[in-house]
């Protein structure tokens, strides 16, 4: 009897992504078998992408509150108070699977979707950042993926008028078939005008605003919640964006919100109309009565399930005060958008969806949004023991100058101008520090002279070697970058990219990474106000566990900021911080020896937090001329980058520890070290500030000339380790052919 019942259930569930056990739970909640449209809605709302059913319990470990927090996780985006009654709203999302299948459209609609998340909080989007991961850049399979993604981001952001002001891009073989495309957006709104997605007020109208609904993007949420297998030819799960309609939607939505007629607003993104209806009603503890026949469509013959699940872009769902519908409809139509009343809010928590006279859905919306929460088994991966046994000090020492040139040319370090030159980063005229620095800086015109700093950081290789430490390092690196701009870190949003959580090794790695993020955020006093989890990032191979941290910082005076390049000849070069470098997990091991291995060390969280505060204050007090953190490639690469960006040389002497190899000193990595240059007259004040924060300071040398000279201080080394013309370093870093 059991076998006879299981077979038809399996057939019913085909394509929904639901398990037999979940189907049984749905029946229990409804007290009956779900109708066809209802089952389709459960399929998308209980997908990993929408429900976070494997991650929700772990994410509770993250700190989410703080004195500036106005909205933490649970809404469309997080919001923090930044200055004079103004709130910054920001969030990051992934569009990995769609970008693997259709790079241009997948990336473009990732940009459009995150912009609408910010818009749904009532904020005007003012900046975008992207974090990208690809396979080896010379790989024939990777080239069209990479160029398509970059072109898609540029096309949508440039056209809609929201500047892409920063980001990062890294390469590793594990991302060859499954690239990562994470996009963050920042918006600004008066703190007392934050919008929510909580429906309220029986009798209030439900208004559809935006583009017409088509068949693109159907089952997109479910598609993002499964592994990529082979080379799918069906691209129906990938949405097609229209940034020009998106721009109209921004202006119409903000005008409607300013009218005071809007009670709630939600983007129709993942899971489309289904998500908007059930999440808005469930959050408000109310119901809705909706007629699908009123939904504007661009294709004839669409079924109820297709209309409910379509993820067509540039659409918002509004709850509008009864009696003010015409006012909002006029606003939408004046901006050339579809604007239609499709239903009403009801008092009882019952979602009724009709198609004309017949109901196709009738259920409590909470049944849809409260998916089962799983705690899968977790087990430390077996490979860790092997990679941690590898001792980098058993590899031969590479000659320093050729090693530096090899690192400057390495894909993860080399100049990325070919990417960000495609982005319009000056539209809206807020950009003070453009892409290419440790962090971008924006002026906050609404609260002069305040400014905002933004950065995105993450290194999957670190989490591959040690997820706890890797998660912490991602946060600390972001914090250092914000401080280098002269800002105080105030909030984080993240995008956590992992393989299947149903594998114990992956879930263990995920859990450890989140713990590392939590510990580092706690040390910095920086809350996580939102984010995204992207599981099932695997095709033939799993990607590195890749947490990406987007961090927001505040500058009291945007004029008091810093960048990485040397500013003046004669300035003193100093190293702030005392973190010890190591070759384990470094770019040096990859570039020179082709090895991703070693044993990472957990940094001193308190000391790194003190360094971040010290550097931010030094920049704010205008004690320093330039600041740059020592990250990928170690201090030698950081010095070279300061020379290249500033078009000036420097002469420095490094002091190796007892028995320390030259490659460890020059190219070893680890947070807790920041380079700065400053006028000699300011050195005493900087030393005094550093003592207050208990931050070590080493005077390394001075800026000047047209060569980078790195020597050894008291090490008995004859001649400098590195003596290279800055223009030669720049040519290699920019991958330019020799003259």
Q: Taking a C-beta distance cutoff of 8 angstroms, is the pair 550, 454 a contact?
A: yes
* Distance of alpha carbon 521 from alpha carbon 15, whole angstroms: 39
* Distance of alpha carbon 98 from alpha carbon 241, whole angstroms: 12
| 665 is a domain residue | yes
3-class secondary-structure state, position 278: helix
| 396 is a domain residue | yes
Q: Range with the lowest mean pLDDT among 7-16, 65-74, 137-146, 253-262?
A: 7-16
* Distance of alpha carbon 117 from alpha carbon 114, whole angstroms: 5
Query: What share of the chain in percent tops pLDDT 70?
Result: 95
Is residue 4 over pLDDT 50? no
Instruction: Name the band, by pLDDT with cuts 50, 70 and 90, for residue 27.
Output: very high
The tens digit of pLDDT for each residue in 350-388 reads 999 999 788 999 999 999 999 999 999 999 999 999 999
* Distance of alpha carbon 575 from alpha carbon 696, whole angstroms: 8
**Residue carrying the six token digits 């959050």:** 283
3-class secondary-structure state, position 205: strand
Instruction: Name the band, by pLDDT with cuts 50, 70 and 90, for residue 5.
Output: very low
Q: Taking a C-beta distance cutoff of 8 angstroms, is the pair 201, 263 a contact?
A: yes
| 211 is a domain residue | no
- The token pair at 128 is 């975008």
Q: Is 594 left (phi over 0), alpha (psi -120 to 50) or beta?
A: left
The tens digit of pLDDT for each residue in 676-729 reads 999 999 999 999 999 999 999 999 999 999 999 999 876 555 679 999 999 999
* Distance of alpha carbon 84 from alpha carbon 469, whole angstroms: 37
Q: Of residues 243 and 5, which shows the higher confidence score?
A: 243
Per-residue model confidence (pLDDT) at position 541: 85
| 196 is a domain residue | no
Per-residue model confidence (pLDDT) at position 238: 67
Domain that holds residue 724: 378-409+562-739
Q: Taking a C-beta distance cutoff of 8 angstroms, is the pair 209, 251 a contact?
A: no
* Distance of alpha carbon 703 from alpha carbon 643, whole angstroms: 9
Instruction: Name the band, by pLDDT with cuts 50, 70 and 90, for residue 1.
Output: very low
Q: Which residues pair with 400 in a beta bridge?
A: none
The three-state (H, E, C) secondary structure of 352-396, written as one string: EEEECCEEEEEECHHHHHCCCCCCCCCCCCCHHHHHHHCCHHHCC
The three-state (H, E, C) secondary structure of 311-350, written as one string: CCCCEEEEEECCCCHHHHHHHHHHCCCEEEEEEEEECCCC
The three-state (H, E, C) secondary structure of 482-534, written as one string: HHHHCCEEEEEEEEEECCCCCCHHHHHHHHHHHHHHHHHHHHHCCCEEEEEEE
* Distance of alpha carbon 461 from alpha carbon 175, whole angstroms: 12
**Residue carrying the six token digits 């906050």:** 444
Per-residue model confidence (pLDDT) at position 393: 94
| 618 is a domain residue | yes
The total number of residues written for the chain in this structure: 739
Element (H, E) at 117: helix 103-119
Question: Could you confirm whether 727 is annotated as catalytic?
Answer: no
Query: What share of the chain in percent tops pLDDT 90?
Result: 90
| 478 is a domain residue | no
Per-residue model confidence (pLDDT) at position 389: 94
- Closest among 242, 257, 266 to 331, alpha carbons compared: 257
* Distance of alpha carbon 300 from alpha carbon 305, whole angstroms: 14
Kindly state the average pLDDT of the residues 501-518. Answer: 97
Out of 54, 95, 97, 462, which one is annotated catalytic? 95
* Distance of alpha carbon 539 from alpha carbon 99, whole angstroms: 13
- Closest among 686, 687, 575 to 634, alpha carbons compared: 575
Give buried/exposed letters for 215-232 (b at 16+ CB in 10 A, else e): bbbbbbbbbbbbbbeeee
Please state, as a whole number, how many other Cβ atoms lie within 10 Å of the Cβ of residue 52.
Answer: 18
- The token pair at 444 is 């906050």
Instruction: Name the band, by pLDDT with cuts 50, 70 and 90, for residue 738.
Output: low
Q: What total of structural domains would you count in the chain?
A: 1
Peptide bond into 272 cis (omega under 30): no
Per-residue model confidence (pLDDT) at position 715: 52
- Closest among 693, 496, 515 to 62, alpha carbons compared: 515
Element (H, E) at 92: strand 86-94
Q: Of residues 249 and 14, which shows the higher confidence score?
A: 249
The three-state (H, E, C) secondary structure of 425-436, written as one string: CCHHHCEEECCC
**Residue carrying the six token digits 């068949």:** 215
Per-residue model confidence (pLDDT) at position 218: 76
Kindly state the average pLDDT of the residues 567-596. Answer: 95
Kindly state the average pLDDT of the residues 486-502. Answer: 97
382 burial level (CB within 10 Å; 0-12, 13-18, 19+)? exposed
- The token pair at 191 is 């703190």
Question: Could you confirm whether 462 is annotated as catalytic?
Answer: no
The CA-based angle 226-475-118, given to 5 degrees, is: 60
The enclosing domain of 610 has a CATH number of: 3.90.650.10
- The token pair at 187 is 């918006």
Residue 238 CB partners (closer than 8 Å, separation 6+): 98, 101, 102, 105, 106, 109, 216, 217, 220
Is residue 118 over pLDDT 70? yes
Kindly state the average pLDDT of the residues 150-177. Answer: 96
Q: Write out the DSSP string of 56-87.
A: HHHHTTS----TTEEE-BTBSSEEEEEETTEE
| 607 is a domain residue | yes
Q: Which residues pair with 455 in a beta bridge?
A: 551
Is residue 235 over pLDDT 60? no
The tens digit of pLDDT for each residue in 296-341 reads 999 999 999 999 999 999 999 999 999 999 999 999 999 999 999 9
- The token pair at 311 is 């993820």
- C-alpha distances in angstroms, 106 versus 130, 237, 238, 588? 13, 10, 6, 33
The tens digit of pLDDT for each residue in 603-651 reads 999 999 999 999 999 999 999 999 999 999 999 999 999 999 999 999 9
Is residue 667 over pLDDT 50? yes
- Closest among 313, 308, 286, 306 to 212, alpha carbons compared: 313
| 72 is a domain residue | no
* Distance of alpha carbon 563 from alpha carbon 625, whole angstroms: 8
Q: Range with the lowest mean pLDDT among 230-244, 519-533, 538-552?
A: 230-244
Residue 485 CB partners (closer than 8 Å, separation 6+): 433, 437, 438, 439, 440, 441, 453, 455, 553, 555, 561, 562, 563, 619, 627
Per-residue model confidence (pLDDT) at position 219: 55
Instruction: Name the band, by pLDDT with cuts 50, 70 and 90, for residue 659.
Output: confident
Is residue 68 over pLDDT 50? yes
Is residue 237 over pLDDT 90? no
* Distance of alpha carbon 159 from alpha carbon 506, whole angstroms: 39
The tens digit of pLDDT for each residue in 409-448 reads 999 999 999 999 999 999 999 999 999 999 999 999 999 9
- Closest among 536, 363, 365, 1 to 9, alpha carbons compared: 1
Q: Taking a C-beta distance cutoff of 8 angstroms, is the pair 344, 206 a contact?
A: yes
Q: Write out the DSSP string of 14-57.
A: TTT---HHHHHHHHHHHTSPPPHHHHHHHHHHTSHHHH-TTTHH
Out of 49, 54, 425, 462, which one is annotated catalytic? 49
Per-residue model confidence (pLDDT) at position 373: 95
Q: What is the pTM of this model?
A: 0.94
């Amino acid at each position: 009897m059991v076998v006879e019942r299981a077979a038809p259930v399996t057939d019913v569930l085909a394509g929904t992504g639901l398990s037999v056990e979940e189907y049984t739970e749905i029946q229990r909640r409804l007290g009956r078998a779900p109708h066809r449209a209802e089952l389709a809605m459960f399929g998308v709302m209980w997908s990993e992408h929408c429900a976070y059913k494997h991650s929700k319990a772990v994410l509770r470990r993250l700190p989410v509150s703080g004195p500036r927090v106005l909205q933490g996780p649970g809404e469309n985006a997080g919001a923090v108070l930044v200055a004079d009654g103004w709130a910054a709203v920001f969030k990051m999302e992934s569009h990995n699977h769609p970008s693997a299948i259709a790079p241009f459209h997948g990336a473009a609609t990732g940009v459009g979707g995150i912009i609408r998340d910010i818009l749904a909080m009532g904020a005007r989007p003012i900046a975008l950042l992207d974090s990208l991961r690809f396979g080896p850049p010379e790989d024939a399979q990777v080239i069209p993926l990479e160029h398509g993604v970059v072109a898609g981001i540029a096309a949508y952001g440039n056209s809609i008028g929201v500047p892409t002001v920063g980001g990062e891009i890294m390469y590793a073989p594990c991302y060859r078939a499954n690239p990562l495309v994470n996009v963050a957006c920042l918006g600004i709104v008066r703190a007392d005008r934050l919008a929510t997605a909580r429906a309220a007020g029986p009798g209030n109208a439900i208004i559809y605003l935006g583009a017409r609904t088509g068949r693109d993007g159907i089952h997109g949420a479910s598609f993002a919640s499964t592994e990529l297998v082979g080379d799918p030819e069906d691209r129906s799960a990938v949405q097609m964006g229209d940034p020009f309609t998106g721009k109209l939607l921004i202006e119409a939505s903000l005008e409607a919100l300013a009218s005071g007629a809007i009670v709630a607003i939600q983007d129709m993104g993942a899971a489309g109309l289904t998500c908007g209806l059930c999440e808005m009603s469930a959050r408000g503890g109310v119901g809705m009565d909706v007629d699908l026949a009123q939904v504007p469509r661009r294709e004839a013959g669409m079924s109820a399930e297709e209309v409910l699940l379509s993820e067509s872009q540039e659409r918002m769902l509004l709850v509008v005060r009864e009696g003010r519908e015409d006012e909002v409809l006029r606003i939408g139509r004046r901006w050339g958008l579809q604007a239609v009343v499709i239903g009403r809010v009801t008092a009882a928590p019952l979602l009724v969806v009709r198609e004309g006279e017949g109901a196709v859905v009738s259920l409590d919306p909470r049944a849809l949004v409260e998916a089962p929460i799983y705690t899968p088994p977790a087990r430390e991966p077996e490979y860790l023991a092997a990679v941690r046994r590898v001792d980098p000090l058993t590899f031969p020492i590479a000659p320093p100058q050729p090693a530096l040139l090899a690192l400057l040319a390495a894909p993860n370090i080399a100049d990325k101008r070919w990417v960000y030159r495609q982005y319009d980063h000056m539209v809206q005229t807020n950009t003070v520090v453009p892409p290419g620095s440790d962090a971008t800086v924006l002026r906050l015109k609404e609260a002069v002279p305040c400014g905002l700093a933004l950065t995105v950081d993450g290194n999957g290789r670190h989490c591959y070697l040690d997820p706890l430490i890797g998660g912490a390092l991602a946060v600390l690196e972001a914090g250092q970058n914000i401080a280098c701009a002269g800002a105080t870190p105030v909030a984080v949003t993240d995008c956590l990219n992992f393989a299947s959580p149903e594998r114990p090794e992956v879930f263990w790695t995920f859990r450890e990474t989140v713990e590392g993020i939590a510990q580092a955020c706690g040390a910095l006093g920086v809350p996580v106000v939102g984010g995204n989890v992207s599981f099932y990032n695997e095709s033939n191979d799993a990607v590195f566990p890749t947490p990406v941290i987007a961090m927001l910082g505040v500058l009291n005076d945007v004029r008091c900021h810093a960048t990485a390049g040397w500013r003046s000849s004669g300035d003193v070069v100093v190293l702030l911080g005392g973190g010890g470098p190591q070759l384990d997990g470094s770019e040096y091991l990859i570039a020179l020896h082709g090895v991703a291995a070693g044993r990472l060390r957990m940094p001193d969280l308190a000391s790194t937090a003190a360094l971040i505060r010290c550097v931010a204050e030094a920049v704010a007090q205008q004690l320093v001329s330039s600041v740059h953190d020592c990250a990928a490639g170690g201090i030698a690469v950081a010095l070279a980058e300061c020379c290249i960006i500033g078009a000036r040389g420097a002469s420095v002497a490094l002091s190796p520890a007892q028995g320390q190899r030259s490659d460890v000193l020059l190219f070893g990595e680890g947070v807790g070290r920041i380079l700065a240059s400053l006028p000699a007259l300011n050195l005493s004040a900087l030393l005094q500030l550093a003592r207050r924060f208990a931050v070590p300071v080493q005077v390394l040398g001075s800026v000047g000339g047209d060569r980078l000279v790195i020597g050894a201080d008291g090490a008995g080394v004859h001649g400098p380790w590195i003596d290279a013309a800055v223009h030669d370093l720049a040519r290699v870093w920019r991958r330019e052919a020799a003259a």
